[in-house]
Structure 1
């Protein structure tokens, strides 16, 4: 059941990425589906530790605050995705995923600015990098055991 939850998370994140890339906006109903699936999985997979879930949701809460302060330089949707991912995975994985995502997005931004001559203030969808970060972190865990 645990693997099914992660496969569903990957699929939903993939669909969100398509919307984010095409429209630079994440539909609220997709976030609701992601959150509902996370809540349901917590009650069906096994033990539900609310304290662990709240701690895992902290990075998303912090990004939502940063989003408000910076007038959405980081979108609310990205903060919401990270917040909701806390329903699925633990804080150490969340932090690894977010850091991996920032790292990969930084490399992509450098390439876009140097090779494709994009300006510093161009906008990039971040959810694809969250999906890549998720794949990297879970892939490393899968390979390394």
Structure 2
């Protein structure tokens, strides 16, 4: 059930990122706050490292990588183990780089590629 919840949020945020080039903080907060339940119930440790890393990269690059992407990864850190989160992040970046190279795009929304990586990692 949790995987469908995360996927629904990822799909919504992907569409928003493509259309508006920004992410709704309320949707990200909903995902992150709802992740508190599995953390408390199952004893998971939240994985905030990748999200903090992306937030720092956004600050250093003057938001070439958006802060919304970092906040999303922080929220996903409530739901996913560290290795799954890192796999999704690096596969998503790789897919985005490949797409950008093939279609000669310099600026791309990251969330659709993170969503594709999530589907590959969790569902295939």
Instruction: Compute the TM-score of the two structures, normalised by the length of structure 1.
Output: 0.80
Tell me the residue number matched to 1:34.
Answer: 31
Cα distance in 1, alignment partners of residues 14 and 38 from structure 2? 22
Render the CA deviation track for 1:88-109: whole Å, top value 9, x for unaligned. 0100101111111011111100
Equivalent positions of 1:124-135 (< 5 A) are 124-135=108-119
Cα distance in 2, alignment partners of residues 93 and 110 from structure 1? 25
Tell me the residue number matched to 1:67.
Answer: 58
Matched, 1:136 2:96: no
Match of 2:21 among 13, 19, 24: 24
Cα distance in 2, alignment partners of residues 40 and 30 from structure 1? 17
Where 2:108 maps in the other structure, the secondary structure is coil
Report the aligned-residue RMSD: 1.3
* Unmatched tracts of structure 1, length 5 or more: 141-145
Using the TM superposition, give the Cα deviation of residue 139 of structure 1 relative to its aligned residue in structure 2, in angstroms.
Answer: 2.7
Using the TM superposition, give the Cα deviation of residue 38 of structure 1 relative to its aligned residue in structure 2, in angstroms.
Answer: 1.2
Render the CA deviation track for 1:30-83: whole Å, top value 9, x for unaligned. 11111122113333xx3224xx31xx2101101101101110010001111111
Cα distance in 2, alignment partners of residues 28 and 47 from structure 1? 26
Instruction: Compute the TM-score of the two structures, normalised by the length of structure 2.
Output: 0.93
Tell me the residue number matched to 1:143.
Answer: none
Cα distance in 1, alignment partners of residues 3 and 72 from structure 2? 14
